[in-house]
Amino acid sequence: MEKIVSLCKRRGFIFPSSEIYGGLASAWDYGPLGAELKRNVKSAWWSTVVHQRDDMVGLDASILMHPRTWEASGHVSSFSDPFVQCPSCQRHFRLDKVWDEIESSPWVVSLREAMSVDADSSYLLHWARTEGKKLAPNLSLVKEPEVTLSWIADSLSAFGQHKVNFKDFLSRLAARQSGIAQTPCPQCGAILPEEGVAANLMLKTFLGPVEQTAEKVYLRPETAQGIFVNFKSVLDATHRRLPFGIAQIGKAFRNEVTTKNFIFRMREFEQMEIEYFTTKQDAEDCHRRWIEDRLNWYLNMGVRKENLRVRPHAKDELAHYAAACTDIEYNFPFGWSELEGIANRTDYDLKQHAKFSGQDLQYQDLTTGAKFYPYVIEPSGGVDRATLAFLVDAYHEEIVKDRTRVVLRFSKELAPVKAAVLPLLKKNDGIVTLAKRIKNDLQKEFACVYDDTAAIGKLYRRQDEVGTFYCVTVDVESLEDGQVTVRDRDTMAQERISVDRLKEYLREKLAL
Ligand code: ATP
Protein backbone atom coordinates (compact mmCIF):
# COMPACT_ATOMS: atom_id res chain seq x y z
CA MET A 1 0.00 0.00 0.00
CA GLU A 2 2.85 2.37 0.82
CA LYS A 3 4.31 1.78 -2.64
CA ILE A 4 0.97 2.59 -4.27
CA VAL A 5 0.45 5.74 -2.20
CA SER A 6 3.95 6.94 -2.99
CA LEU A 7 3.65 6.17 -6.72
CA CYS A 8 0.30 7.98 -6.81
CA LYS A 9 1.82 11.10 -5.27
CA ARG A 10 5.05 11.04 -7.27
CA ARG A 11 3.42 10.50 -10.66
CA GLY A 12 0.38 12.69 -10.17
CA PHE A 13 -2.43 10.21 -9.62
CA ILE A 14 -3.55 11.20 -6.12
CA PHE A 15 -2.40 13.92 -3.71
CA PRO A 16 -3.36 14.60 -0.08
CA SER A 17 -5.95 17.37 -0.13
CA SER A 18 -4.79 20.93 0.72
CA GLU A 19 -1.36 19.55 1.44
CA ILE A 20 0.31 22.97 1.68
CA TYR A 21 -1.74 23.49 4.86
CA GLY A 22 -0.87 20.09 6.25
CA GLY A 23 -3.66 18.16 4.51
CA LEU A 24 -7.17 17.28 5.66
CA ALA A 25 -7.79 13.84 7.16
CA SER A 26 -9.56 11.57 4.68
CA ALA A 27 -9.65 14.05 1.79
CA TRP A 28 -7.67 13.32 -1.37
CA ASP A 29 -7.27 15.12 -4.68
CA TYR A 30 -6.90 13.41 -8.02
CA GLY A 31 -3.91 14.76 -9.97
CA PRO A 32 -3.55 14.90 -13.78
CA LEU A 33 -3.25 11.13 -14.29
CA GLY A 34 -5.68 10.30 -11.47
CA ALA A 35 -8.32 12.55 -12.98
CA GLU A 36 -7.96 10.67 -16.30
CA LEU A 37 -8.08 7.29 -14.57
CA LYS A 38 -11.15 8.16 -12.54
CA ARG A 39 -12.95 9.52 -15.64
CA ASN A 40 -12.14 6.26 -17.42
CA VAL A 41 -13.56 4.24 -14.51
CA LYS A 42 -16.77 6.23 -14.58
CA SER A 43 -17.21 6.15 -18.33
CA ALA A 44 -16.49 2.41 -18.51
CA TRP A 45 -19.18 1.87 -15.86
CA TRP A 46 -21.65 4.21 -17.58
CA SER A 47 -21.03 2.63 -20.94
CA THR A 48 -21.61 -0.88 -19.54
CA VAL A 49 -24.65 -0.23 -17.37
CA VAL A 50 -26.40 2.47 -19.43
CA HIS A 51 -25.28 2.60 -23.08
CA GLN A 52 -24.84 -1.11 -23.65
CA ARG A 53 -28.20 -2.10 -22.17
CA ASP A 54 -31.78 -1.66 -23.31
CA ASP A 55 -33.27 -1.54 -19.85
CA MET A 56 -31.32 1.32 -18.24
CA VAL A 57 -31.37 5.12 -18.25
CA GLY A 58 -29.14 7.68 -16.53
CA LEU A 59 -29.78 10.44 -14.02
CA ASP A 60 -27.82 13.26 -12.44
CA ALA A 61 -29.62 14.43 -9.30
CA SER A 62 -28.46 17.24 -7.03
CA ILE A 63 -26.40 16.72 -3.89
CA LEU A 64 -28.69 18.88 -1.76
CA MET A 65 -32.17 17.46 -1.33
CA HIS A 66 -35.30 18.29 0.65
CA PRO A 67 -34.59 17.38 4.29
CA ARG A 68 -37.71 15.15 4.42
CA THR A 69 -35.93 12.83 1.97
CA TRP A 70 -33.62 11.74 4.76
CA GLU A 71 -36.43 11.26 7.23
CA ALA A 72 -38.21 8.99 4.76
CA SER A 73 -35.08 7.02 3.96
CA GLY A 74 -34.31 6.43 7.64
CA HIS A 75 -30.97 8.27 7.52
CA VAL A 76 -31.98 10.90 10.10
CA SER A 77 -32.98 8.33 12.69
CA SER A 78 -30.54 5.55 12.10
CA PHE A 79 -27.61 6.37 9.82
CA SER A 80 -24.88 5.93 12.37
CA ASP A 81 -21.89 3.76 13.11
CA PRO A 82 -21.59 3.34 16.89
CA PHE A 83 -18.09 4.29 17.96
CA VAL A 84 -15.90 4.17 21.06
CA GLN A 85 -13.42 6.76 22.21
CA CYS A 86 -10.19 5.82 23.91
CA PRO A 87 -10.08 7.46 27.37
CA SER A 88 -6.28 7.85 27.11
CA CYS A 89 -5.36 8.88 23.56
CA GLN A 90 -8.88 10.18 22.70
CA ARG A 91 -8.93 8.43 19.31
CA HIS A 92 -12.29 7.23 17.93
CA PHE A 93 -12.89 3.74 16.57
CA ARG A 94 -15.92 2.20 14.90
CA LEU A 95 -17.26 -0.43 17.27
CA ASP A 96 -17.81 -3.00 14.51
CA LYS A 97 -14.33 -2.49 13.08
CA VAL A 98 -12.30 -2.10 16.25
CA TRP A 99 -10.93 -5.65 16.24
CA ASP A 100 -9.84 -5.30 12.60
CA GLU A 101 -7.91 -2.21 13.65
CA ILE A 102 -6.42 -3.96 16.67
CA GLU A 103 -5.24 -6.89 14.56
CA SER A 104 -3.39 -4.60 12.16
CA SER A 105 -2.09 -2.09 14.73
CA PRO A 106 1.69 -1.70 15.06
CA TRP A 107 1.81 -2.98 18.64
CA VAL A 108 -0.13 -6.15 17.82
CA VAL A 109 1.99 -6.82 14.73
CA SER A 110 5.12 -6.43 16.87
CA LEU A 111 3.69 -8.60 19.67
CA ARG A 112 2.66 -11.30 17.21
CA GLU A 113 6.21 -11.43 15.89
CA ALA A 114 7.63 -11.65 19.40
CA MET A 115 5.20 -14.43 20.33
CA SER A 116 6.05 -16.42 17.24
CA VAL A 117 9.67 -16.58 18.41
CA ASP A 118 9.00 -17.46 22.01
CA ALA A 119 5.78 -17.49 23.95
CA ASP A 120 7.08 -17.57 27.50
CA SER A 121 6.66 -14.93 30.17
CA SER A 122 10.24 -13.70 30.22
CA TYR A 123 10.01 -12.93 26.52
CA LEU A 124 6.71 -11.10 27.00
CA LEU A 125 8.22 -9.12 29.84
CA HIS A 126 11.09 -8.16 27.57
CA TRP A 127 8.62 -7.10 24.85
CA ALA A 128 6.60 -5.05 27.35
CA ARG A 129 9.71 -3.17 28.49
CA THR A 130 11.03 -2.48 25.02
CA GLU A 131 8.70 -2.45 21.99
CA GLY A 132 5.51 -2.46 24.08
CA LYS A 133 6.58 0.67 25.94
CA LYS A 134 7.03 2.51 22.66
CA LEU A 135 4.02 1.17 20.77
CA ALA A 136 1.33 0.53 23.41
CA PRO A 137 2.28 2.52 26.53
CA ASN A 138 -1.20 2.19 28.10
CA LEU A 139 -1.59 -1.57 27.75
CA SER A 140 -1.94 -3.28 31.14
CA LEU A 141 0.85 -5.68 30.23
CA VAL A 142 3.14 -2.68 29.68
CA LYS A 143 2.03 -0.69 32.70
CA GLU A 144 2.00 -3.60 35.17
CA PRO A 145 3.81 -6.48 33.47
CA GLU A 146 4.44 -8.55 36.61
CA VAL A 147 0.79 -8.37 37.71
CA THR A 148 -0.63 -9.14 34.27
CA LEU A 149 1.81 -11.96 33.62
CA SER A 150 1.21 -13.58 36.97
CA TRP A 151 -2.44 -14.30 36.18
CA ILE A 152 -2.12 -15.13 32.52
CA ALA A 153 0.55 -17.77 33.12
CA ASP A 154 -1.88 -20.56 32.24
CA SER A 155 -2.99 -19.06 28.98
CA LEU A 156 0.62 -18.34 28.13
CA SER A 157 1.64 -21.97 28.29
CA ALA A 158 -1.51 -22.91 26.36
CA PHE A 159 -0.63 -20.23 23.81
CA GLY A 160 2.68 -21.97 23.18
CA GLN A 161 0.68 -25.06 22.27
CA HIS A 162 -1.63 -22.93 20.07
CA LYS A 163 -4.70 -23.56 22.18
CA VAL A 164 -5.45 -19.94 22.86
CA ASN A 165 -7.18 -17.71 20.40
CA PHE A 166 -5.03 -14.60 19.77
CA LYS A 167 -8.01 -12.26 20.22
CA ASP A 168 -8.79 -13.75 23.67
CA PHE A 169 -5.16 -13.52 24.52
CA LEU A 170 -4.96 -9.82 23.59
CA SER A 171 -8.12 -9.11 25.61
CA ARG A 172 -6.39 -10.54 28.63
CA LEU A 173 -3.21 -8.57 28.11
CA ALA A 174 -5.37 -5.45 28.25
CA ALA A 175 -7.23 -6.44 31.42
CA ARG A 176 -6.43 -5.14 34.86
CA GLN A 177 -8.22 -7.84 36.77
CA SER A 178 -7.73 -11.48 36.26
CA GLY A 179 -10.43 -13.12 34.20
CA ILE A 180 -12.12 -10.00 32.82
CA ALA A 181 -11.27 -9.67 29.17
CA GLN A 182 -11.06 -6.13 27.82
CA THR A 183 -10.80 -4.49 24.42
CA PRO A 184 -7.46 -2.70 24.05
CA CYS A 185 -7.07 0.55 22.12
CA PRO A 186 -5.45 -0.10 18.71
CA GLN A 187 -3.47 3.09 19.14
CA CYS A 188 -2.14 3.01 22.73
CA GLY A 189 -3.36 -0.21 24.39
CA ALA A 190 -5.61 1.44 27.02
CA ILE A 191 -8.90 -0.26 27.90
CA LEU A 192 -11.72 0.87 25.60
CA PRO A 193 -15.30 1.30 26.81
CA GLU A 194 -17.49 -1.72 26.00
CA GLU A 195 -20.52 0.34 24.93
CA GLY A 196 -20.50 2.37 21.72
CA VAL A 197 -21.93 5.85 21.19
CA ALA A 198 -24.06 6.43 18.10
CA ALA A 199 -23.42 9.58 16.08
CA ASN A 200 -25.20 10.45 12.85
CA LEU A 201 -22.86 10.20 9.85
CA MET A 202 -24.57 12.86 7.74
CA LEU A 203 -22.83 16.16 7.07
CA LYS A 204 -25.02 19.22 7.51
CA THR A 205 -24.97 22.64 5.96
CA PHE A 206 -27.20 25.73 5.79
CA LEU A 207 -29.19 27.00 2.83
CA GLY A 208 -29.48 30.76 2.80
CA PRO A 209 -27.25 33.66 3.83
CA VAL A 210 -28.23 33.95 7.52
CA GLU A 211 -27.24 30.86 9.43
CA GLN A 212 -29.73 31.33 12.31
CA THR A 213 -32.77 31.40 10.05
CA ALA A 214 -31.40 29.26 7.20
CA GLU A 215 -32.78 25.86 6.41
CA LYS A 216 -30.64 22.99 7.64
CA VAL A 217 -29.92 20.53 4.84
CA TYR A 218 -27.71 17.51 4.45
CA LEU A 219 -24.98 16.71 1.96
CA ARG A 220 -26.34 13.44 0.58
CA PRO A 221 -24.79 10.36 2.22
CA GLU A 222 -25.67 8.25 -0.85
CA THR A 223 -26.85 8.94 -4.38
CA ALA A 224 -29.63 6.33 -4.23
CA GLN A 225 -32.32 8.58 -2.75
CA GLY A 226 -31.94 10.99 -5.68
CA ILE A 227 -33.06 8.11 -7.88
CA PHE A 228 -36.05 7.13 -5.74
CA VAL A 229 -37.44 10.67 -5.53
CA ASN A 230 -37.19 10.95 -9.34
CA PHE A 231 -38.73 7.54 -10.04
CA LYS A 232 -42.11 8.92 -11.09
CA SER A 233 -40.61 11.71 -13.23
CA VAL A 234 -38.33 9.27 -15.07
CA LEU A 235 -41.23 6.88 -15.61
CA ASP A 236 -43.46 9.65 -17.00
CA ALA A 237 -40.71 11.10 -19.20
CA THR A 238 -39.43 7.83 -20.67
CA HIS A 239 -42.54 5.60 -20.70
CA ARG A 240 -40.41 2.73 -19.43
CA ARG A 241 -42.01 -0.56 -18.45
CA LEU A 242 -40.72 -2.94 -15.78
CA PRO A 243 -38.09 -4.16 -15.45
CA PHE A 244 -35.89 -1.11 -15.92
CA GLY A 245 -33.19 0.68 -13.99
CA ILE A 246 -31.80 4.14 -13.31
CA ALA A 247 -28.07 4.70 -12.97
CA GLN A 248 -26.29 7.60 -11.39
CA ILE A 249 -22.73 8.65 -10.58
CA GLY A 250 -22.13 11.37 -8.04
CA LYS A 251 -20.58 12.68 -4.87
CA ALA A 252 -21.66 11.43 -1.47
CA PHE A 253 -20.57 12.57 1.98
CA ARG A 254 -20.27 10.68 5.26
CA ASN A 255 -18.80 11.83 8.52
CA GLU A 256 -16.95 8.53 8.90
CA VAL A 257 -15.63 7.75 12.39
CA THR A 258 -12.28 6.56 11.16
CA THR A 259 -10.83 7.15 7.76
CA LYS A 260 -7.81 5.26 6.62
CA ASN A 261 -6.42 3.11 3.88
CA PHE A 262 -5.92 5.94 1.40
CA ILE A 263 -8.97 6.46 -0.85
CA PHE A 264 -10.76 3.37 0.48
CA ARG A 265 -12.73 5.27 3.12
CA MET A 266 -13.17 8.99 2.71
CA ARG A 267 -15.62 11.57 4.02
CA GLU A 268 -16.24 12.91 0.50
CA PHE A 269 -16.36 10.24 -2.18
CA GLU A 270 -18.13 9.26 -5.37
CA GLN A 271 -20.66 6.50 -5.85
CA MET A 272 -21.85 4.63 -8.93
CA GLU A 273 -25.34 3.40 -8.09
CA ILE A 274 -28.15 1.62 -9.87
CA GLU A 275 -31.72 1.22 -8.71
CA TYR A 276 -33.28 -1.52 -10.81
CA PHE A 277 -37.07 -1.73 -10.59
CA THR A 278 -38.77 -5.06 -11.07
CA THR A 279 -41.65 -7.18 -9.80
CA LYS A 280 -41.60 -9.00 -6.48
CA GLN A 281 -41.73 -12.32 -8.36
CA ASP A 282 -38.66 -11.53 -10.46
CA ALA A 283 -36.63 -9.84 -7.71
CA GLU A 284 -34.62 -12.86 -6.58
CA ASP A 285 -33.57 -13.83 -10.10
CA CYS A 286 -32.83 -10.27 -10.95
CA HIS A 287 -30.62 -9.94 -7.86
CA ARG A 288 -28.65 -13.00 -8.95
CA ARG A 289 -28.21 -11.63 -12.47
CA TRP A 290 -26.94 -8.27 -11.20
CA ILE A 291 -24.39 -9.96 -8.93
CA GLU A 292 -23.10 -11.85 -11.95
CA ASP A 293 -23.08 -8.77 -14.20
CA ARG A 294 -21.27 -6.61 -11.69
CA LEU A 295 -18.66 -9.26 -10.95
CA ASN A 296 -18.07 -9.65 -14.68
CA TRP A 297 -17.59 -5.91 -15.03
CA TYR A 298 -14.63 -5.95 -12.63
CA LEU A 299 -13.19 -8.97 -14.46
CA ASN A 300 -13.64 -7.24 -17.82
CA MET A 301 -11.82 -4.22 -16.44
CA GLY A 302 -8.83 -6.54 -16.00
CA VAL A 303 -9.04 -7.31 -12.27
CA ARG A 304 -7.52 -10.70 -11.50
CA LYS A 305 -10.12 -13.32 -10.65
CA GLU A 306 -8.30 -14.54 -7.56
CA ASN A 307 -8.53 -11.05 -6.06
CA LEU A 308 -12.32 -10.90 -6.25
CA ARG A 309 -14.94 -12.77 -4.29
CA VAL A 310 -18.64 -12.50 -3.56
CA ARG A 311 -19.86 -12.58 0.02
CA PRO A 312 -23.57 -13.01 0.73
CA HIS A 313 -24.62 -11.22 3.92
CA ALA A 314 -25.79 -13.27 6.88
CA LYS A 315 -29.37 -12.60 8.02
CA ASP A 316 -28.21 -10.53 11.01
CA GLU A 317 -26.16 -8.20 8.76
CA LEU A 318 -29.13 -7.21 6.60
CA ALA A 319 -30.97 -3.90 6.92
CA HIS A 320 -34.46 -4.55 8.35
CA TYR A 321 -36.13 -3.95 4.96
CA ALA A 322 -33.65 -5.90 2.77
CA ALA A 323 -34.45 -9.39 1.52
CA ALA A 324 -30.80 -10.12 0.60
CA CYS A 325 -27.45 -8.46 0.02
CA THR A 326 -24.18 -9.67 -1.47
CA ASP A 327 -20.90 -7.80 -1.42
CA ILE A 328 -18.27 -7.99 -4.12
CA GLU A 329 -15.02 -7.89 -2.18
CA TYR A 330 -11.48 -7.19 -3.33
CA ASN A 331 -8.34 -8.53 -1.74
CA PHE A 332 -6.80 -5.16 -0.83
CA PRO A 333 -3.32 -5.04 0.78
CA PHE A 334 -5.15 -4.52 4.09
CA GLY A 335 -7.41 -7.54 3.59
CA TRP A 336 -10.65 -8.54 1.83
CA SER A 337 -12.99 -5.53 1.86
CA GLU A 338 -16.20 -4.36 0.21
CA LEU A 339 -15.93 -2.94 -3.27
CA GLU A 340 -19.61 -2.94 -4.09
CA GLY A 341 -22.82 -4.08 -2.40
CA ILE A 342 -25.76 -5.53 -4.35
CA ALA A 343 -28.96 -5.51 -2.32
CA ASN A 344 -32.53 -6.58 -2.77
CA ARG A 345 -34.22 -3.61 -1.04
CA THR A 346 -37.76 -4.93 -1.57
CA ASP A 347 -40.37 -2.17 -2.09
CA TYR A 348 -39.31 -0.28 1.02
CA ASP A 349 -37.89 2.93 -0.46
CA LEU A 350 -40.71 3.85 -2.83
CA LYS A 351 -43.28 3.09 -0.12
CA GLN A 352 -41.43 5.29 2.36
CA HIS A 353 -41.22 8.22 -0.06
CA ALA A 354 -44.88 7.81 -0.95
CA LYS A 355 -45.74 7.90 2.75
CA PHE A 356 -43.62 10.96 3.55
CA SER A 357 -44.45 12.96 0.40
CA GLY A 358 -48.11 12.04 0.10
CA GLN A 359 -47.53 11.30 -3.61
CA ASP A 360 -48.63 8.18 -5.41
CA LEU A 361 -45.40 6.49 -6.45
CA GLN A 362 -46.93 3.22 -7.54
CA TYR A 363 -46.34 1.63 -10.91
CA GLN A 364 -49.29 0.60 -13.04
CA ASP A 365 -49.27 -2.53 -15.12
CA LEU A 366 -50.89 -1.46 -18.40
CA THR A 367 -52.25 -4.90 -19.26
CA THR A 368 -53.91 -5.77 -15.98
CA GLY A 369 -54.34 -2.23 -14.66
CA ALA A 370 -52.91 -3.37 -11.31
CA LYS A 371 -50.99 -0.79 -9.29
CA PHE A 372 -48.10 -1.78 -7.04
CA TYR A 373 -44.73 -0.73 -5.66
CA PRO A 374 -41.89 -2.33 -7.64
CA TYR A 375 -39.13 -4.24 -5.89
CA VAL A 376 -35.67 -2.70 -6.15
CA ILE A 377 -32.29 -4.30 -6.76
CA GLU A 378 -29.46 -1.93 -5.91
CA PRO A 379 -25.88 -2.47 -7.14
CA SER A 380 -23.99 0.23 -5.28
CA GLY A 381 -20.27 0.75 -5.76
CA GLY A 382 -17.70 3.43 -5.02
CA VAL A 383 -15.73 5.13 -7.79
CA ASP A 384 -12.78 5.70 -5.48
CA ARG A 385 -12.77 2.16 -4.11
CA ALA A 386 -12.92 0.76 -7.62
CA THR A 387 -10.08 3.09 -8.66
CA LEU A 388 -8.00 1.88 -5.71
CA ALA A 389 -8.68 -1.75 -6.59
CA PHE A 390 -7.70 -1.09 -10.22
CA LEU A 391 -4.47 0.60 -9.11
CA VAL A 392 -3.56 -2.18 -6.69
CA ASP A 393 -4.40 -4.91 -9.18
CA ALA A 394 -2.47 -3.24 -11.99
CA TYR A 395 0.68 -2.75 -9.92
CA HIS A 396 3.49 -5.11 -10.95
CA GLU A 397 7.17 -5.21 -10.22
CA GLU A 398 9.54 -7.30 -12.31
CA ILE A 399 13.26 -7.58 -12.79
CA VAL A 400 14.43 -6.62 -16.27
CA LYS A 401 18.16 -6.55 -16.97
CA ASP A 402 18.95 -6.53 -13.24
CA ARG A 403 16.73 -3.56 -12.59
CA THR A 404 13.26 -3.38 -11.12
CA ARG A 405 10.64 -2.39 -13.65
CA VAL A 406 7.41 -1.05 -12.15
CA VAL A 407 4.48 -1.35 -14.49
CA LEU A 408 0.81 -0.56 -14.04
CA ARG A 409 -0.95 -3.12 -16.21
CA PHE A 410 -4.21 -1.21 -16.62
CA SER A 411 -6.77 -2.50 -19.08
CA LYS A 412 -7.17 -0.63 -22.36
CA GLU A 413 -10.29 1.16 -21.12
CA LEU A 414 -8.70 2.30 -17.90
CA ALA A 415 -5.15 3.29 -18.91
CA PRO A 416 -4.99 7.09 -18.42
CA VAL A 417 -2.60 7.45 -21.36
CA LYS A 418 -2.94 5.25 -24.43
CA ALA A 419 0.19 6.38 -26.28
CA ALA A 420 3.30 8.44 -25.51
CA VAL A 421 5.19 10.03 -28.37
CA LEU A 422 8.91 10.23 -27.63
CA PRO A 423 11.57 11.90 -29.79
CA LEU A 424 14.89 10.03 -29.60
CA LEU A 425 16.88 13.26 -29.95
CA LYS A 426 15.25 16.36 -28.61
CA LYS A 427 17.76 18.66 -30.32
CA ASN A 428 17.07 17.33 -33.80
CA ASP A 429 14.48 19.66 -35.35
CA GLY A 430 13.33 17.12 -37.93
CA ILE A 431 12.64 14.48 -35.26
CA VAL A 432 10.90 16.95 -32.94
CA THR A 433 8.68 18.32 -35.71
CA LEU A 434 7.65 14.85 -36.85
CA ALA A 435 7.04 13.68 -33.26
CA LYS A 436 4.86 16.70 -32.51
CA ARG A 437 2.94 16.21 -35.74
CA ILE A 438 2.29 12.56 -34.83
CA LYS A 439 1.14 13.51 -31.33
CA ASN A 440 -1.15 16.17 -32.75
CA ASP A 441 -2.72 13.68 -35.07
CA LEU A 442 -3.13 10.88 -32.50
CA GLN A 443 -4.56 13.05 -29.74
CA LYS A 444 -7.79 13.56 -31.68
CA GLU A 445 -8.56 9.93 -30.98
CA PHE A 446 -6.43 8.73 -28.08
CA ALA A 447 -5.25 10.21 -24.79
CA CYS A 448 -1.60 10.97 -25.66
CA VAL A 449 1.44 12.64 -24.18
CA TYR A 450 4.65 14.01 -25.65
CA ASP A 451 7.80 13.72 -23.53
CA ASP A 452 11.37 14.68 -24.33
CA THR A 453 12.66 15.34 -20.83
CA ALA A 454 14.99 12.33 -20.47
CA ALA A 455 16.88 9.63 -22.34
CA ILE A 456 14.73 7.01 -24.06
CA GLY A 457 15.31 4.23 -21.48
CA LYS A 458 14.13 6.47 -18.70
CA LEU A 459 11.16 7.69 -20.72
CA TYR A 460 10.05 4.08 -21.27
CA ARG A 461 10.27 3.34 -17.54
CA ARG A 462 8.26 6.44 -16.72
CA GLN A 463 5.51 5.45 -19.11
CA ASP A 464 5.47 1.85 -17.82
CA GLU A 465 5.07 3.16 -14.30
CA VAL A 466 1.85 4.99 -15.19
CA GLY A 467 0.49 2.23 -17.41
CA THR A 468 0.81 3.89 -20.85
CA PHE A 469 -0.13 1.26 -23.42
CA TYR A 470 2.19 2.19 -26.27
CA CYS A 471 5.35 4.27 -26.66
CA VAL A 472 5.93 5.68 -30.14
CA THR A 473 9.56 6.62 -30.71
CA VAL A 474 10.68 8.88 -33.53
CA ASP A 475 14.37 8.51 -34.51
CA VAL A 476 16.73 9.61 -37.31
CA GLU A 477 15.66 6.72 -39.52
CA SER A 478 12.04 7.80 -39.20
CA LEU A 479 12.93 10.89 -41.21
CA GLU A 480 14.17 8.67 -44.03
CA ASP A 481 11.81 5.69 -44.03
CA GLY A 482 8.67 7.30 -42.58
CA GLN A 483 8.47 4.62 -39.86
CA VAL A 484 8.43 4.84 -36.06
CA THR A 485 9.13 2.31 -33.32
CA VAL A 486 6.05 1.22 -31.37
CA ARG A 487 6.79 -0.43 -28.04
CA ASP A 488 4.21 -2.55 -26.24
CA ARG A 489 3.94 -1.91 -22.49
CA ASP A 490 3.36 -5.50 -21.43
CA THR A 491 5.66 -7.46 -23.73
CA MET A 492 8.17 -4.64 -24.28
CA ALA A 493 8.29 -5.91 -27.90
CA GLN A 494 9.11 -3.24 -30.48
CA GLU A 495 7.75 -2.98 -34.00
CA ARG A 496 8.48 -0.57 -36.87
CA ILE A 497 5.22 0.92 -38.13
CA SER A 498 4.76 3.39 -40.93
CA VAL A 499 3.56 6.81 -39.75
CA ASP A 500 0.69 6.67 -42.25
CA ARG A 501 -0.59 3.44 -40.71
CA LEU A 502 0.05 4.35 -37.07
CA LYS A 503 -3.44 5.55 -36.18
CA GLU A 504 -5.08 2.52 -37.70
CA TYR A 505 -2.54 0.24 -35.97
CA LEU A 506 -3.32 1.76 -32.56
CA ARG A 507 -7.04 1.70 -33.27
CA GLU A 508 -6.85 -2.04 -33.92
CA LYS A 509 -4.58 -2.79 -30.98
CA LEU A 510 -6.53 -0.73 -28.50
CA ALA A 511 -9.86 -1.79 -30.03
CA LEU A 512 -11.53 1.35 -28.69
P1 ATP B 1 -18.63 0.23 4.65
O2 ATP B 1 -19.24 -0.98 5.36
O3 ATP B 1 -17.28 -0.01 4.07
O4 ATP B 1 -18.74 1.49 5.45
P5 ATP B 1 -21.14 0.55 3.40
O6 ATP B 1 -21.69 -0.84 3.39
O7 ATP B 1 -21.62 1.52 4.41
O8 ATP B 1 -19.53 0.49 3.38
P9 ATP B 1 -22.71 1.40 1.23
O10 ATP B 1 -23.57 2.29 2.02
O11 ATP B 1 -23.26 0.09 0.79
O12 ATP B 1 -21.33 1.17 1.97
O13 ATP B 1 -22.14 2.22 -0.03
C14 ATP B 1 -21.98 1.64 -1.30
C15 ATP B 1 -20.56 1.77 -1.79
O16 ATP B 1 -20.08 3.10 -1.65
C17 ATP B 1 -19.55 0.92 -1.01
O18 ATP B 1 -19.52 -0.39 -1.51
C19 ATP B 1 -18.25 1.65 -1.30
O20 ATP B 1 -17.71 1.24 -2.54
C21 ATP B 1 -18.69 3.09 -1.40
N22 ATP B 1 -18.41 3.79 -0.14
C23 ATP B 1 -19.18 3.80 0.97
N24 ATP B 1 -18.61 4.56 1.93
C25 ATP B 1 -17.45 5.03 1.42
C26 ATP B 1 -16.41 5.88 1.91
N27 ATP B 1 -16.48 6.41 3.12
N28 ATP B 1 -15.36 6.17 1.10
C29 ATP B 1 -15.29 5.65 -0.15
N30 ATP B 1 -16.23 4.85 -0.67
C31 ATP B 1 -17.31 4.53 0.09
Would you place residue 175 in the very low, low, confident or very high pLDDT band (cuts 50, 70, 90)?
confident
| 192-196, 212-216, 374-378: which is most confident | 374-378
Q: Is the CB of 385 under 6 A from ligand 1?
A: yes
Which residue owns the Cα nearest ligand 1 atom 21? 382
Q: What is the residue-averaged pLDDT of the chain? A: 92
pTM of the model: 0.87
Q: How far is the CA of 340 from the centre of ligand 1 (A)?
A: 7
Residue whose CB lies within 8 A of the most ligand 1 atoms, among 45, 220, 265, 297, for a mutation test? 265
Cα 372 from Cα 280, distance rounded (Å):
10
Say what the alpha-carbon torsion angle 346, 349, 350, 355 is, to the nearest 10 degrees: 120
Within 10 angstroms of residue 197's Cβ, the number of other Cβ atoms is 13
The answer to whether the CB of 189 falls within 8 A of the CB of 142 is: yes
156 pLDDT above the threshold of 60: yes
CA of 12 to the centre of ligand 1 (A): 25
Choice between 178 and 239, residue whose per-residue pLDDT is larger: 239
Contacts of 19 (CB under 8 A, 6+ apart): none
* pLDDT value at residue 161: 61
pLDDT per position as a tens digit, 437-469: 999 999 999 999 999 999 999 999 999 999 999
* Spatial contact of 266 and 390, defined as CB atoms under 8 Å apart: no
Provide CB contacts within 8 A for 86, sequence distance 6+.
92, 93, 185, 187, 188, 190, 192
Q: How many C-beta atoms surround the C-beta of residue 428 within 10 A?
A: 16
Residue 297 Cα to ligand 1 midpoint, Å, equals 18
pLDDT at 215: 83
Residue nearest to atom 12 of ligand 1 (CA): 341
DSSP conformational letter for 49: I
Say what the pLDDT of residue 25 is: 85
pLDDT bucket at 30, cuts 50 / 70 / 90:
very high
Position 172 pLDDT exceeds 70: yes
**Would you state the pLDDT for residue 171?**
85
Q: Which of 130-139, 143-152, 349-358, 365-374 has the lowest average pLDDT? A: 143-152
> Is it the case that residue 178 has pLDDT exceeding 80?
no
Provide mean pLDDT across the span 322-344: 96
